[in-house]
Amino acid sequence: MVVAASQTVAGAPPRPRVARRRRANGSTRAAWLLLAPFLLGFAVFYVAPIVVAVVKSFTAVTRTSTYGRPVEVFAGLANYTAALGDAGFTGSVGRVLLFGVVQIPVMLGLALVLALALDSAVVRLRRFFRLAFFLPYAVPGVIAAVMWGFFYAPNLSPVNQLLDPLGLHPDLLSGSVILYSIANIVTWTFTGYNMLILYSSLQAIPPQLYEAARLDGASGWAIAWRIKVPIIAPSLVLTGVFSIIGTFQLFTEPQVMAGVSSAVSSSYTPSMAAYAQISAQNYGLGAAMSVLVTLLIAVLSWLFFRITRARAAL
C-alpha cells in the first residue's frame, strides 16, 4: 500500500514521505497500544455479551429423557415465535407502552416547568431547590421503591392513617392503580435528573437574547415559550429518548412492588419477563425477549427522533 501510494503520487519526493509514514505508523501503534485495554474491555464486556445473547436467542435445548443431558441446538426463529406468542410477554410490552405514554410526558413536562422556574429570576434559593429536586435521583432505585411501598401499603401508610377517619381507604397496590403507583415512583426519581439536563441547556442560552426580546416587549411567558423552549428542544428530545429507553428497561420498581402487591405478575414488564425465563434456565427464550425489546427500543427511539425533528425542525 505504501509503495503503491508513493508511486501514484507524481512529483512528490518519495523519501520524506516514507519517513513520515513510518513516524505515523509508530504513533498509530502507540495509539493502538494505549487503546488496547479499553478495546479489550469493550470487546469482552460490551460486544461479547450482545453477540452471545443474539446467538443464544437462536438456540434451544433437546434431551432424550427426563434427566437426560441437555444438548444445545439451533432453533431457528422458534424462540422469537414463542416470545411473540407468549401472552405474558406481549402483554408486558403493551403495559410499558401505556406506562410510557402517560408517564414520560408528565415527567418531562414537570422537569421542564421546574427547569424554567429555576432559570427565571423569580425563584429564590435556587441552589437549594436544584439540589432538592435532584436528590431523589441519588436514592438507589431499590431503596426508593421499598420506601414508596411503605407509603402505598394500606395498613402501613401514614397517608392512609390520616384518611381513615374520613372514611377513605385507597389501596394504591390494587390492580387498577398499581401501574400509576409505579409511574409515580419513576417520576419522583427521574424528574430531577431530567430537570438538570434541561436546566443546564437553559444556562447555556446567551442572556443577550432575553435582553433583545425584552426590548421588543416580550413578556416572561413569551420569552419562556418562544425563546427558551425552542432553543432547548434538542435537550428535550434527548431526555425523551432516555425516557423511552428507561421505560422499556423498567425492572427494579415493579420487581420490588411484586413483593407487596398481588397485581404485579412475574412478567409485568419485558425485562421481568426475560428475567423470569432466564431464571428458569430458558436462556434461548430469555435472550430472544431481550433482543426483541432492544429492537423495539431502537425503532421507537428512531421514530421519536423522526417525529420530533419534523415538528421542531431541528
| Cα separation, 276 vs 218, whole angstroms | 56
- 66 is a site residue for another protein (CB under 8 A): yes
CB of 47 to another protein, least distance (A): 11
- 189 is a site residue for another protein (CB under 8 A): no
For residue 76, the tally of other CB atoms under 10 A from its CB is 11
- 94 is a site residue for another protein (CB under 8 A): no
CB proximity list for 210: less than 8 A, separation 6 or greater: 223, 227
Site size with another protein, rule: CB under 8 A: 57
How many residues are given for the chain?
A: 314
CB of 276 to another protein, least distance (A): 6
| Cα separation, 90 vs 267, whole angstroms | 9
CB of 227 to another protein, least distance (A): 43
Q: Considering only 138-146, 196-204, 213-221, 230-238, which stretch makes contact with another protein by CB under 8 A?
A: 138-146
- 169 is a site residue for another protein (CB under 8 A): no
The x, y and z cell numbers of residue 96, run together, are 410499558
- 249 is a site residue for another protein (CB under 8 A): no
| Cα separation, 181 vs 108, whole angstroms | 17
| Cα separation, 281 vs 20, whole angstroms | 57
Nearer to another protein, 8 or 65 (CB): 65
- 159 is a site residue for another protein (CB under 8 A): no
Cβ atoms of 152 and 173 within 8 Å: the answer is yes
| Cα separation, 303 vs 299, whole angstroms | 6
Mask: binding to another protein, 6-35, rule CB under 8 A, as x and -?
A: ------------------------------
Q: Considering only 103-111, 168-176, 224-232, 235-243, which stretch makes contact with another protein by CB under 8 A?
A: 168-176
Cβ atoms of 79 and 288 within 8 Å: the answer is yes
CB of 229 to another protein, least distance (A): 37
Q: What are 59's strand-pairing partners?
A: 74
71: three-class secondary structure by DSSP? strand
Binding site for another protein (CB under 8 A): 45, 48-49, 52-53, 56, 60-63, 65-67, 69-72, 82, 88, 142-143, 146, 150, 153-156, 174-176, 251-252, 255-256, 258-267, 274-276, 278-283, 285-287, 290
